[in-house]
């Protein structure tokens, strides 16, 4: 591993058009799981100017059975979508929670996929698809996440809280952030640059004039917005990382009044690096949002994060990447791979960690059913995952169970055994 380098990660706010789509898709997952814990959902969302469209495959007792919608189900779905957009904060002419056109094209899950995935007779529940999934943890932050992504998320979370709490009046829902840190001896020592682009109220930007003579912007309002963003950055990043040499790029393109789905179409699953580790770890390519937990794109990514986080929390390594692979319809994983990037402590090896993980009785194995059972995933806990990252979040109640570090003692014991 390189020890001295610059590294950058980005995040996007809950009002980013792709994240609007992710949150809608996961709100649908939660709705169906609240009706039927064994529901099958693959919900894709597309958003654009005054339009939200759903597509995908479902199976849900009491909602959609034998090709028929239950009474009131279609209205409940639409109400869920509109409430999600309302919570995000869109009440703009180009995208308003109450007036956008809504299209629902959800339909029955393929019977041929179902027969491969469902348990029957002596056959255990199979993986919902083939694929490879990765989990990662490192000691850069208290949440054992890459620092560049951690701070990128936190900046936007704070801005969203200030917007919704009316701490400031000029922020709109769409925003992006990016943090570049300098690492020495593998440790972040300085913030080289921060980029924040935020949708804003009218004229909170530097003066501008287009080719048609239209004008806008206000120097004092622009300065107010920039000062606010710099204050948020100063509050989020550790003081020792910031200096006079840190570069700030705040709304570098100028005016950003048109945003969200009105400014750019959004699709479920287009922010998979934001959702995971900010580019600091590999990604298998599968998105999470809109999928029930039988889909290993989601559940296996959660269990590998859980395992990697417990390896680092146990003090066995300072960085850990775990890969797992599945075949559609097959319950047992095809492979398990652990890489601690040369950071494991004396007496611990990557191969030893692989064996230890597979011997832990409380896991019950790494089949899709075992993962769902261990992490209790058949619950409506997913909409809150769809903005500001699926990892590095605080486990509370049923939420984010893959962030717990309750496997530390068993992992250590398995290594000794």
CB distance 200 to 223 below 8 Å: no
Residue 118 has pLDDT above 80, yes or no: no
Catalytic-residue membership of 16: yes
Q: What is the DSSP letter of 54?
A: E
Number of residues that make up the chain:
417
Residue-level pLDDT at 127: 83
Confidence of residue 285 (pLDDT cuts 50, 70, 90): very high
- Looking at 297, 339, 403, 410, which residue is catalytic? 297
Other residues' Cβ atoms within 10 Å of the Cβ of residue 71: 7
Average confidence score pLDDT of the chain:
95
Catalytic-residue membership of 19: yes
Residue-level pLDDT at 116: 60
Residue 122 has pLDDT above 80, yes or no: no
pTM score, whole prediction = 0.95
Q: Is the dihedral of CA 62, 64, 67, 73 positive or negative?
A: positive
Catalytic-residue membership of 271: yes
Catalytic-residue membership of 163: no
Catalytic-residue membership of 18: yes
Catalytic-residue membership of 265: yes
**237-275, pLDDT tens digit by residue?**
999 999 999 999 999 999 999 999 999 999 999 999 999
- What whole-number distance in Å separates Cα of residue 202 and Cα of residue 412? 57
Residue-level pLDDT at 267: 98
Residue-level pLDDT at 130: 87
Neighbouring-strand partners of residue 102: 52
- What whole-number distance in Å separates Cα of residue 361 and Cα of residue 363? 5
Catalytic-residue membership of 309: no
Residue 293 has pLDDT above 90, yes or no: yes
**50-73, pLDDT tens digit by residue?**
999 999 999 999 898 888 899 999
Catalytic-residue membership of 295: yes
Q: Which helix (H) or strand (E) holds 236?
A: helix 219-236
- Going by DSSP bridges, is the β-strand pair 101-108/51-59 parallel, antiparallel, or unpaired? parallel
Residue 114 has pLDDT above 60, yes or no: no
Give the whole-number percent of the chain exceeding pLDDT 70: 96
Catalytic-residue membership of 270: yes
- What whole-number distance in Å separates Cα of residue 249 and Cα of residue 107? 45
Give the whole-number percent of the chain exceeding pLDDT 90: 90
5-12+148-262 and 17-117 in the same fold = yes
Residue 112 has pLDDT above 60, yes or no: no
Q: Which of 33, 13, 78 is nearest to 381 (CA)?
A: 33
* CATH topology classification for 5-12+148-262: GMP Synthetase; Chain A, domain 3 (3.30.300)
**305-344, pLDDT tens digit by residue?**
999 999 999 999 999 999 999 998 889 999 999 999 999 9
Residue 125 has pLDDT above 80, yes or no: no
**71-82, pLDDT tens digit by residue?**
999 999 999 999
Residue-level pLDDT at 7: 98
Please identify, in words, the CATH class of the domain defined by 131-138+272-416.
Answer: alpha beta
Domain ranges (residues) in the chain:
5-12+148-262, 17-117, 131-138+272-416
CA angle 315, 318, 195 (to 5 degrees): 135
Q: Which helix (H) or strand (E) holds 7?
A: strand 5-12
Taking each helix axis as running N to C, give the angle between helix 73-88 and helix 17-35, from 0 to 180 degrees, rounded to the nearest 10.
140
- Looking at 176, 319, 372, 383, which residue is catalytic? 176
- What whole-number distance in Å separates Cα of residue 313 and Cα of residue 307? 10
CB distance 338 to 358 below 8 Å: no
- Looking at 7, 100, 136, 256, which residue is catalytic? 256
DSSP secondary structure string for all residues of 301-341: HHHHHHHHHHHHHTTS-SEEEEEEEE-BT--S-SEEEEE-T
- Looking at 291, 298, 383, 390, which residue is catalytic? 291
Residue-level pLDDT at 129: 80
- Looking at 78, 264, 350, 354, which residue is catalytic? 264
- Looking at 19, 153, 309, 319, which residue is catalytic? 19
For 144-165, what is the mean pLDDT?
A: 98
Catalytic-residue membership of 123: no
The residues, any chain, with a CB within 8 Å of residue 247's CB and separated by 6 or more, are: 192, 193, 194
* CATH topology classification for 17-117: GMP Synthetase; Chain A, domain 3 (3.30.300)
């Amino acid at each position: 591993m390189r020890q001295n380098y610059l590294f950058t990660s980005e995040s996007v706010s809950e009002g980013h058009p792709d994240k609007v789509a992710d949150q809608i898709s996961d709100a649908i997952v939660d709705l169906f799981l609240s009706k039927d814990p064994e529901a099958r959902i693959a919900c894709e969302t597309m958003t654009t100017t005054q339009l939200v469209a759903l597509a995908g495959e479902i199976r849900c007792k009491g909602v959609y059975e034998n090709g028929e919608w239950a009474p009131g189900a279609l209205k409940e779905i639409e109400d869920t979508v509109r409430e999600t957009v309302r919570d995000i904060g869109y009440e703009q002419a180009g995208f308003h929670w109450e007036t956008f056109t809504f299209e629902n094209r959800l339909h029955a899950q393929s019977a041929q996929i179902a027969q491969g995935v469902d348990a029957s007779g002596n056959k255990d529940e199979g993986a919902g698809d083939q694929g490879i999934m990765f989990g990662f943890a490192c000691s850069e932050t208290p949440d054992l996440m890459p620092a560049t992504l951690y701070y990128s998320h936190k900046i936007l979370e704070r801005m969203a809280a200030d917007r919704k709490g009316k701490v400031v009046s000029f922020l709109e829902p769409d925003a992006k952030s990016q943090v570049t840190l300098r690492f020495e001896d593998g440790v972040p020592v300085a913030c080289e640059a921060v980029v924040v682009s935020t949708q804003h109220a009218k004229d909170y930007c530097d003066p501008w004039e287009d080719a048609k003579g239209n004008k806008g912007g206000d120097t004092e309002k622009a300065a107010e917005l920039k000062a606010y963003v710099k204050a948020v950055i100063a509050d989020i990043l550790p003081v020792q990382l910031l200096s006079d040499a840190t570069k700030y790029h705040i709304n570098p393109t100028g005016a950003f009044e048109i945003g969200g789905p009105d400014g750019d179409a959004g699709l479920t699953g287009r922010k998979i690096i934001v959702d995971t580790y900010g580019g600091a770890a590999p990604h298998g390519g599968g998105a999470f949002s809109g999928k029930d937990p039988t889909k290993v794109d989601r559940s296996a990514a959660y269990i590998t994060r859980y395992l990697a986080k417990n390896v680092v929390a146990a003090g066995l390594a300072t960085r850990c990447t775990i890969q797992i692979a599945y075949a559609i319809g097959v319950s047992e994983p095809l492979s398990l791979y652990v890489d601690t990037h040369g950071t494991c402590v004396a007496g611990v090896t990557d191969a030893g960690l692989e064996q230890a993980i597979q011997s832990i009785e409380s896991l019950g194995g790494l089949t899709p059913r075992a993962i769902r059972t261990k992490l209790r995933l058949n619950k409506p806990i997913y909409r809150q995952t769809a903005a500001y990252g699926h990892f590095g979040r605080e486990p509370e109640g049923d939420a984010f169970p893959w962030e717990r570090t309750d496997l530390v003692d068993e992992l250590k014991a398995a290594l000794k055994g």
